[in-house]
């Protein structure tokens, strides 16, 4: 099939989903009301609660949810064939993905801007909130591990990446200094720092890391893992304006330009998909159900989005009608990002064997080769294009990673601060989070780590859908549009986590793995089992809440009659 047809199919699904299904839910079930005062207006504090234009929020939501996952997921999932991957990306987003993003924002807005923790306390039970927060810590650890692995495999596999990454960091730090300390013009700052980042990409292509530090260091996973987490350490402990934010600022232009010109490149080249449509039900990492469903991750549905929608976006929506373009609309754009990644993986290799040889080294190489090909259609040299793709991959992963480590630092302080004051220290919390992340990256096989992350991520999504269902029941609204996706995602993700954890722990118990792999398998397996137990307890709490709401409706029904 031609790649342009795939893109057009994606646009058609996005159009129908947004204009018909999302509009139906928004007007008939949620009954969004432009006259209802939103928390952004009601509790305006000029900081967190702030009425903001839907166009700005569209950009904010997109930037917050579009990390590495919608790109990497389809690149890995094409191992089962491009057709099942494409069907799940389109159907998953159409029936489940946008439902979760939009509804999380809506219920947070209707419940005074409460975060997911607050919503689970209000809608389910106080215990649900505590379990959810513990669940979140390990979920975030898996994000740090999976994304850390992507950064490291890209830095070791593509030798032009480290230089580009270094210059991006320098450009970012300079941007922070120029904006916040020297008070320079924002346009001037942007031009200078983006040019520095672009120069780094070019320099990386002519001066790769192995020519500077030698083969041994350039290929050392330990070195790049430590550097990646050192980067996150600075992001977590330094004032946010000095390091994390300005680097993200410069990086956002690099990613945006790459995506924009990459999509133009696809239309110019309009290549055919060369990989097979379907390869088989079971491959090395597992069967198509449930493993492929969780591998696609954010391209179809992601729990991360519900966190952003509830804690961030819902407090800034100035009108209930804006929830659909921001919550649902951005999810459909993210779906297109996943389709773009699928096209990249499906068109750049002549055969499955060639793709297979590339994917074992990590998804970064596949993505960079694709970006290079499509930017090449606009005249960019292949080497520079590959450096551009590699830094895009690193940026997409590390911007989320640094946020996750920062959050884990706060979580350590909140959860363990009462046991000993030492855990309230910012450096201690960051070091604990970083060490756990390093352990996962160095010892875990990246494909298993990715599946576990995908499972935890979509399990988080099913828990968010549980909150949506509880809200709908409490309000006496039809629940089917959220309830069935919740059941499907819950069963799928629990099956995926159990399957992967069993495989990992089985290898540990049977003695099939030794050394680093033994530690990695044991750690990943235990984290997977913990997440399943936490999710089951939450599900039981959820069922109790559902029964409570049902009983309440039965009690109130005769009175209404």
Partner 1 sequence: MSEKEKKKGGFFSAVKEFVYGVAAHDSARFAMKTRASMEHLFILITMGDMLGVPILPPYYSLRLLPYVVPQISTWKRRMLREKDLTDALA
Q: Which residue has the tokens 């699928």?
A: 342
Query: For partner 1, which is the closer residue by CB, 295 or 457?
Result: 457
305 binds partner 1 (CB under 8 A): no
DSSP state of 273: P
43 binds partner 1 (CB under 8 A): yes
105 binds partner 1 (CB under 8 A): no
Q: Which of residues 446-505 bind partner 1 (CB under 8 A)?
A: none
Angle, vertex CA 453, rays to CA 447 and CA 455, nearest 5: 105
Burial of 438 (0-12, 13-18, 19+ CB in 10 A): buried
Peptide bond into 303 cis (omega under 30): no
Pairwise CA distance, residues 523 & 520, whole Å: 5
423 binds partner 1 (CB under 8 A): no
Binding mask 252-271 for partner 1 (x = CB under 8 A): xx--x---------------
Residues 319 and 34 sit within 8 Å (Cβ to Cβ) = yes
100 binds partner 1 (CB under 8 A): no
Query: For partner 1, which is the closer residue by CB, 193 or 434?
Result: 193
Pairwise CA distance, residues 527 & 522, whole Å: 9
Query: For partner 1, which is the closer residue by CB, 269 or 410?
Result: 410
In the list 166, 203, 238, 245, the residue contacting partner 1 (rule: CB under 8 A) is: 245
Query: For partner 1, which is the closer residue by CB, 58 or 94?
Result: 58
In the list 308, 317, 468, 531, the residue contacting partner 1 (rule: CB under 8 A) is: 308
Query: For partner 1, which is the closer residue by CB, 6 or 403?
Result: 403
Contact segment (CB under 8 A) with partner 1 among 13-21, 98-106, 112-120, 262-270 equals 112-120
In the list 1, 8, 16, 186, the residue contacting partner 1 (rule: CB under 8 A) is: 186
DSSP state of 421: G
Task: Give the contacts of 47 (CB within 8 A, at least 6 positions apart).
Answer: none
341 binds partner 1 (CB under 8 A): no
Shortest separation between residue 108's beta carbon and partner 1, angstroms: 10
Q: Which residue has the tokens 């990613």?
A: 255
Angle, vertex CA 89, rays to CA 452 and CA 342, nearest 5: 90
Two structure tokens written together for 423: 């855990």
Burial of 280 (0-12, 13-18, 19+ CB in 10 A): exposed
239 binds partner 1 (CB under 8 A): yes
3-state secondary structure at position 272: strand
136 binds partner 1 (CB under 8 A): yes
* Closest by CA position to 333, among listed 357, 352, 310, 305: 305
Q: Which residue has the tokens 């966190």?
A: 307
In the list 11, 21, 95, 241, the residue contacting partner 1 (rule: CB under 8 A) is: 241
307 binds partner 1 (CB under 8 A): yes
Pairwise CA distance, residues 101 & 312, whole Å: 12
55 binds partner 1 (CB under 8 A): yes
Contact segment (CB under 8 A) with partner 1 among 24-32, 109-117, 438-446, 539-547 equals 109-117
114 binds partner 1 (CB under 8 A): yes
Largest Cα separation within the chain, whole Å, is 81
Shortest separation between residue 418's beta carbon and partner 1, angstroms: 14
Shortest separation between residue 309's beta carbon and partner 1, angstroms: 9
Pairwise CA distance, residues 486 & 464, whole Å: 8
List of residues contacting partner 1 (CB under 8 A):
43, 45-48, 50, 52-53, 55-64, 114-118, 129, 133, 136, 179-180, 186, 190, 239-241, 245-246, 248-249, 252-253, 256, 307-308, 310-313, 403, 406-407, 410-411, 414
């Amino acid at each position: 099939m031609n790649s342009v047809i795939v893109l057009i199919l994606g646009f058609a699904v996005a159009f129908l989903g947004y204009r018909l299904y999302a509009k139906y839910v928004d007007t008939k079930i949620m009954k969004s009301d432009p006259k209802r005062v939103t928390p952004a207006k009601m509790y305006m504090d000029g900081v967190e609660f702030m009425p903001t234009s839907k166009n700005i929020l569209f950009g904010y939501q997109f930037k917050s949810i579009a990390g590495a996952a919608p790109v990497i997921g389809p690149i890995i999932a094409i191992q089962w064939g491009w057709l099942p991957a494409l069907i799940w990306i389109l159907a998953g987003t159409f029936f489940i993905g946008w439902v979760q993003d939009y509804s999380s924002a809506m219920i947070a807005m209707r419940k005074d801007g409460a975060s997911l923790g607050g919503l689970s306390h209000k809608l389910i039970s106080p215990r649900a909130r505590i379990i959810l927060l513990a669940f979140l810590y390990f979920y975030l650890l898996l994000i740090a591990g999976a994304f850390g692995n992507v950064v490291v495999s890209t830095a070791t596999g593509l030798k032009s990446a480290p230089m580009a990454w270094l210059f991006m960091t320098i450009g970012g730090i300079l941007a922070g200094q120029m904006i916040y300390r020297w008070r320079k013009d924002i346009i001037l700052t942007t031009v200078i720092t983006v040019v520095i980042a672009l120069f780094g990409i070019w320099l990386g292509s002519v001066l790769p890391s192995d020519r500077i530090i030698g083969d041994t260091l350039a290929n050392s996973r330990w070195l790049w893992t430590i550097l990646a987490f050192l980067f996150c350490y600075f992001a977590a402990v330094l004032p946010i304006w000095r390091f994390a934010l300005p680097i993200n600022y410069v990086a956002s232009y690099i990613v945006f330009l790459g995506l924009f010109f990459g999509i133009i490149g696809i239309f110019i080249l309009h290549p055919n998909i060369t990989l097979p449509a379907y390869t088989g039900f079971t491959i090395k990492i597992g069967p198509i159900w449930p493993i492929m469903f969780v591998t696609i991750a954010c391209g179809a549905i992601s729990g991360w989005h519900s966190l952003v929608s509830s804690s961030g976006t819902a407090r800034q929506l100035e009108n209930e009608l804006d929830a659909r373009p921001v919550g649902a609309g951005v999810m459909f754009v993210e779906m297109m990002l996943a389709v773009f990644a699928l096209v990249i993986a499906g068109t750049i290799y002549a055969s499955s064997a060639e793709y297979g040889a590339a994917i074992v080294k990590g998804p970064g190489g596949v993505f960079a080769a694709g970006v290079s090909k499509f930017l090449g259609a606009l005249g960019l040299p292949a080497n520079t294009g590959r450096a551009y793709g590699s830094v895009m991959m690193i940026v997409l992963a590390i911007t989320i990673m640094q946020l996750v480590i920062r959050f884990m630092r706060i979580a350590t302080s909140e959860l363990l601060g009462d046991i000993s004051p030492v855990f309230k220290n910012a450096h201690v919390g960051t070091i604990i989070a970083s060490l756990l992340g390093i352990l996962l990256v160095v010892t875990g096989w990246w494909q298993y780590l990715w599946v576990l992350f995908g499972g935890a991520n979509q399990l988080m999504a099913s828990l968010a859908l549980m909150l949506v269902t509880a809200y709908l029941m409490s309000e006496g609204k039809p629940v089917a549009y959220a309830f069935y996706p919740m059941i499907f995602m819950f069963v799928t993700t629990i099956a995926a986590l159990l399957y992967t954890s069993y495989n990992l722990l089985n290898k540990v118990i049977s003695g099939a793995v030794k050394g680093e792999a033994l530690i990695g398998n044991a750690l990943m397996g235990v984290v997977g089992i913990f997440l399943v137990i936490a999710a089951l307890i939450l599900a039981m709490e959820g069922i109790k809440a559902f029964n409570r709401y049902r009983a309440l409706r039965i009690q109130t029904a005769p009175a209404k009659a």
